Structure 1
């Protein structure tokens, strides 16, 4: 096979995949890199043991109808301007409308209604959520959400009746509920059905 000629189909991808696996497995790395990585891991675990904390959690703090709450950053796809919702008939609890997003529509989960808060009229933002059933929109207050790095010591696990609440984040004396955005409303819709 000449150097100018490329392999086709799966024959072309196979050597690249094997090379990638070989590099990822660490076989090509030198002994020094493995030693350094081991030392860094060891320092990290001793530092965590001495402070009593694990890796910090990244949270997004936002407000819905004046009530501040938090969510994990990996559950949020983005924040866009609120364009207004289109009411639709729905049997899913707290999902009663759609919002246009780029070339499609997203179902809107009414978090204000879930927490029995009256929605404030005026400007709002749309929080796009990475939900297990597909993207979901939540109407939030116009105040831009803040990204915070939170030590695990300020997080409290919540064991209660509401499966949508993962726990509480204590910020400056204020207790903010941590919302499970990825599974929001899943258990309540299954109980209703």
Structure 2
């Protein structure tokens, strides 16, 4: 009897309060933009505290930032966004791009450091994505700092639309980096 009660209790718990997890969308196709580097390292993206959490941050009507412990990113945002940016920049530029730590024996020709000031949207969007990216290229002596600011509308509703907007923002950033590195 105790065993049956335990099974029923576990079944009841598993059907209520399920935690939803969301991943960033697959890497979208992008225009090819050649860059003058064959190898590029993307340093781990620096995010504001509210965006570092696995809990999805939403801008409330009163201007506060709210999270829900039942709506989570499926991966840590810094890691996920860094890997996604590296993948999209690879597709855009044709270069070998990898997130830090650099996985190859030789050093990369360039390093990109992205520092995000704002990565936030209300329930229905749009996503505001702003910050600065820095490129250092020891071999060619080309160092630069560029600000970016993108507003990405949600193409749909809910958290899936939010994840798709994050992917679109990463694509815009990769294209911005590739265009300005040329």
Instruction: Indicate whether the TM-score tops 0.5.
Output: no
TM-score (norm: length of structure 2) = 0.25
- Greater strand fraction, Structure 1 or Structure 2: 1
Flag the structure with larger Rg: 1
Structure with larger RCO (C-alpha < 8 A, sep 6+): 2
TM-score (norm: length of structure 1) = 0.24
